[in-house]
Structures are given as C-alpha cells and as structure tokens.
Structure 1
Amino acid sequence: MKQSSDSIFSSQFFSFVRKEFYHVMRDKKTLLILFGMPVMQILIFGFALTNEVKNSRIVVVDYARDLASQQITARIEASQYFDIEKTILDQKQIESAFKNGKIKLALIFPEKFNDELLHQNKAQIRVVADASDPNIANTLTNYVTLIVQDYQNELNKNISLPYRIDTEVRMLYNPQLKGAHSFVPGVMALVLMLVCVMMTAISIVREKETGTMEILLVSPFKPFLVILSKAVPYLILSLINVVSILLLSVFALDLPVNGSVLLLFAESTLFIITCLSLGIFISIKSATQQAAMTISLMGMMLPTIMFSGFMFPVENMPVPLQVISNIVPAKWFYIIAKSIMIKGLGITALWKETLILAGMTVFLLIISLKSFKIRLS
C-alpha cells in the first residue's frame, strides 16, 4: 500500500513538473528571456563596458624604510584613490592577500631604494595588481605611475643629471586586461537572478490568476510540493544557461575557467536555488503577473547592477550603501564566480560567501512558507 501511494505521489509530482516544462517550451517570449537574454548580455557586457575606481585597498611593502620611499608613500596616501595598509609581507602573504580579495594592488619598495636613487640615479619600484578586474588594475597602476613620475619630476628640477625611478608592473590573473574577466561572472549573476526570480514569480502567480492554484492546494498533493514542482523546471533551465554562458566565455571571449568546474556548478546551483526562493516569496506576496514582473524585474535588476560590484566597485560607495549591498545575493555569487573562474580558488577560500548564500536561501524559504500559510488561512 505504501509503495502504491509513493508511486502515485511520484507520478503526480513529475506530471506537474512536465506540465511546467510544456508551458515554457510553448511560450516563445519565455524562451527568449531564458536563452536569448544571457547570450546578448554576455556579448554586450563582455566587449563594451569599463568603469572608474577610487578608495581601493592597497598594501605598501617598504623594505627600504628610507626618505624616498616614505615620501612617495605619503603622496600616494594623500590621494583619494587609495586606502593604504603599511606592512612588511613576504611573497606568499602578498599572494594570499590578493587571493582573499583583501587588496587590489601591492606597492613594493626594495631595500636601499634611496641609496640606489642617489648614487646610481635610478631605482625601481615593483607594482603588483589584481587584474581579475582589468579596469581597476589598469587604472590603479596608472595612478601609482603618475604619482611616482610627479615625485621624480620634482627631484629633477635642480640637478643636472636626472634621477630615474622605474615602475615594474605585474598584472595577476589577467595579464592581457580583458574586460570579459570581470563582466562574465557579473552577467552570470545578473542573468540567473533575473531569470530565476522573474520566471518563478510569474509562473506561480499565473496559476493563482487563472484559479488553478486554489484547485491544486485543496488536492491531496501538499502545497509545498506544488510550488516545488513549479521551481524545478527553472532550476534545470537555469543550469543550461550556466553551461551556455561558460561555453560562450571559453570559445567566444577566450576566458578559461581556472578553478573547479564542479565547484562552480555547485555554487551556481546554490545561487539559483536562492533566486528561486526569492521568486517564490515575490509570487506569494503578489496578486497579479504584472505586479510580480515589475517587482522581480525592476526590484532585482537595479540592485544587482548597482550593488553586486561588477559594474560599480562597492568600496566607492558611501558606507550605508556598502551595508545595503550585503543583502543582495548577486554580490556574493559574483565574488564566488570570479574567484573560481579567474583566480582558481577553492571552497576553503569561499566558505564564507557560500555560507551567506545558504543562509539567505534558508531564510527566504522559511518566510515564504510562513507567508504562504498565512495567506491560505
């Protein structure tokens, strides 16, 4: 008897899932949103956009501790472009700081920097930048180079044999400074957020508008499983979107995945479930498809673009906006995707972001279920 009821349950559940798949495949507009938007955004964002930076976290490693290095550091510190941490680090510690996203640039003064400048009339400064975001890396290195050149020009005013300070620049993770390295992870976050939230919200509200949802809810089939059956197709279709985005990135934009593809898929699945949970919550609170679309499209697109960090650096924003950015799921997925794809990091470096997304998912599911029950009472 139990096996019979289980088979009936499975049959009902998969019939609901199949029904939703049929609806999606018959709707050309839905297919265009699901599969056309990711391709267009990858191509547009991957080739077109750049942005400006300031207040970036950098580290000054001063092995010289002499007059010239301190004067140059003071000039850099006085500019609005940098938030400086002065310390002595070895090579491994510097690389670790880059991998963890704690700094954007490292400025390294070698020993006897001032002596070489005074006695040999030339010295070298090493500049190491995180080029996983090429625009930021290129901009920051240019700022540093200009400040050093300005200092050099002041030294050369009253001497016959000019001093020369060379800056050795090294770009980590993205030596060619390709814009796709920054925008592909951001577009993944944007596309998955919009598609999952909007499609889920609309599909459930549509059932409520036509009256079929009420019929389903009074059936022996549990309400939670009804909603789950509506979300499963969009989970599968969103994973197909992830595959298409990665294929475009590798073959069209020449952006390899340096980290674990399996981990990237696992993190993408977690983010998709987070977005589906948000879509379910919006659908429960919305009375019409138009309201659900407006909330999911405008309410999700702007925060994702503004606060995820891929269009505008979060550190440039006022502190209240930086705090608000922490509640945007796309911000955490953008950090995860960029770290895996470009820096090649693993779960040990990304556990905090993963835990935050998991916590958001649990929270959204809990409040959705509670709101759902209250709505039916």
Structure 2
Amino acid sequence: MSDFSEELIRSKTEDDKEESCVFSGTGMSFPWLQKHIGTVETGGKKEKDFAQTTSACLGFIQEALLKHQWQQAADYMHSYFQILEDSDSHKRQAAPEIIWKLGSEILFYHPKSSVETFNTFADRMKNIGVMNYLKISLQHALYLLHHGMLEDANRNLSFHCTYIPHLLYPFIYEDDYAYNTASQNMFDHSWKTSVNLRALIQTPGVWDPFVKSYVEMLEFYGDQDGAREVLTNYAYDEKFPSNPNAHIYLYNFLKREKAPREKLISVLKILYQIVPSHKLMLEFHRLLRKSEKEDHHKLGLEVLFGVLDFAGCTKNITAWKYLAKYLRQTLMGNHLAWVQEEWKTRKNWWPSFHFSSFWAKSDWKEDKALACEKALVAGILLGKGCRYFRFISKQDDQVLRKKIKQIKKSVKKHSVVNPGL
C-alpha cells in the first residue's frame, strides 16, 4: 500500500505553508483539514456546484471501504470534503456526520494512521456543528479505550461531556467496582456512573456498550425490573434507530430470566425481520417448532429457508439438518402448500445457488455429512432428477451407504415434484 494519501496525511514539504496545515504531532500534516473546516468555521459562502463530484466520491469511498482499500478511500476523501461548501443547506447539515463516520473508519484501519492522527481529526470535527459534538466526543473516547488509553479517554469525556464526568471512573480503578461491594468509595462511583449512563442512553442513538454496562450494573445490584425496562425501551422506542443488537440484548436477558416461550418468540420475530441470517435464527426456529400454534410452525419453515438464502450460511450443516427434518415433518403433516409457497420464490435461483453439480462434488469432498443433508433437501424440492441428488445418491461410501439409502427412500416418499412416487 502507498503512503497514507497525498492529501489526507502527508509530510510537510517546502511548498506547504505552515498556516494551512494541521499537524498530528507525528510528522504528518493535514493541508485539507484546515482549509475545509476553516471555511465552515468562518462562514465561507463559496457558491459552487459540487453535487455530481460529491455524489460520485461518496460512492467510490463506500466501495473502497467495503473492499478494505483504505488508501483509495483516503484519496477520494480529499474531494468529498467539498460538500462542506455545498450551496444546499440540507447537504451541508448532513455532511459532518458522514465525514466523521467515513474519516474515522479510514483512520482506524489505515496502516499508516496513528492515535495522534485520529485525535487531530476528531478534535477538528467536534467543532463542526453543535449536534455532532457529544457524539464524536463519545466515539473518540471509545477509540482511546480501544487503544488502552484509559486516562486520556476519561479526560476527554470529563472535558467535553459535562453531564457525564464520571462515566469512565470505574474503569480507572484497579479493583472491579462490580465486585468490590465492601468499598463504599467504589459504591459511590458506581452509583454516579449508573446515573450518568441512564441519562446518556435515554438520548436517541446507538449506545450498545453503554447499555450493556448499565444493564450489567443493574443486574449485579438486583434491579431486574430496571434492567428489563432499559432493554425494552432500547429495543422498542421508535425514537431510536433500528438496531439488531438491541433485540439481541433483550432476548438474552429474557432468556436468563427464563421468560415464557411466547415472549422470546416475539423478540426474535423482530430480529428476524431485521437480520434473517443471524445465528439466533436457528434458535428461533426451535422455539417456533415447539410452539402449539400452527402459524408458528409455518413461520419455522420460512425462517429456515430465510437463513439458507444467504451465502454465509450455505455451509451451515445445522441449518440443512433442520430443513431436511422439518420438510419431512411438514409434508407428513399435510402442509404441502407451505413448502410450495416457500419454494415458489426460490425455484429459479436455489438450484444453481445450492444444488449444482459443482457444489455436489465440492460438498462431498469437503463435508460428506453436509452433502447428505443437502441431497435430501434437493431431492425433496427438485425430485430424483436433480443433479445434486443424483451425484450424492451414486456415491459408494461404506460408512454412509445406509444413510444414502435412507435419503433415496425419503425422496421417493416426500418429493414435492412427484408426490407419492
């Protein structure tokens, strides 16, 4: 990878004017940072049409981030800073948060970046818009914590966030406040921290680490009702952005409380709508399968198909086992329509996605148990003529010979292509 962007981070040259640069303290400078941020701070009114340029740059930056091409992302950021001078007031208002998220992502992962570089960027960004000040300060503190700079993180929050000055005190002490109940001094700091955390997480936003810490504190002191209330509000309050973690935290809490199955199902149902491929979906399927409601049984089939729609789950043998077993149960329960409904939207792409000859050979070579489960599903959905099923059924494996014979019988009995044959 080349040096960290000629414009984003570079050593000061003879032609660079000192007043136009912001130094990081590590021999790196930011000629673009003072120029663009200074324009906003002084109320610059440059009337230029940057719409096409900034839109294109944003797309390039996002693509570079997805591919972990940190240098290219840094290069494009130089042009994207023009949006701070856009004549469209709405774009200017939204720009600081976008720039902060993109810039901090680049600086966090770029191999030529440093803590000093990140600190300089964060300090400058805090001065662009009052609404971004607190959020950036908190995220800056988390970055410092990640690098083990506890005192710096505490000092950062104490200076910038006057209503949460004791937020990180518990982390500074050598003894864990949650277990040192004999110390009144530590208890006092725990109480102050809980008050400040509660005030923070009531503000709409994504506060995952703070919510987890606060709930752990409440649970330690036996306030189960308080913990449940916090997690419920965090998951269901419409003022907060959609956040799958909020529902995961609530589910895990209710599970620890041994909440009724219906309650657990209601929480995971929302998570399913947000992230249908989440690892908890297999647990969701088990809960639905145990339910006495028929609509839950139908949803259980939908969930399994939904999980296997995603490329990251194609090798999940547990998901294939569940689907193979549940397809047979569903068909034996005279619910052919359920299977047909799910298969209708997948019959044009699942065969090549899951059941091609290539995958049959590859799966058999890598994981014979997985191949057998997939062969059963393929045979039920596509019939005995399916390439995947035919390849697996012809394999002469001494260990799996009995298993393959059972698969053939099940396909003959349950195939939705030619039922009854």
TM-score tier (shorter): under 0.3
Q: TM-score, normalised by structure 2?
A: 0.19
Q: Looking at both structures, which has the greater relative contact order when contacts are Cα pairs under 8 Å and sequence separation is at least 6?
A: 1
**More strand, by proportion:** 1
Structure of higher CA gyration radius? 2
Q: TM-score, normalised by structure 1?
A: 0.21
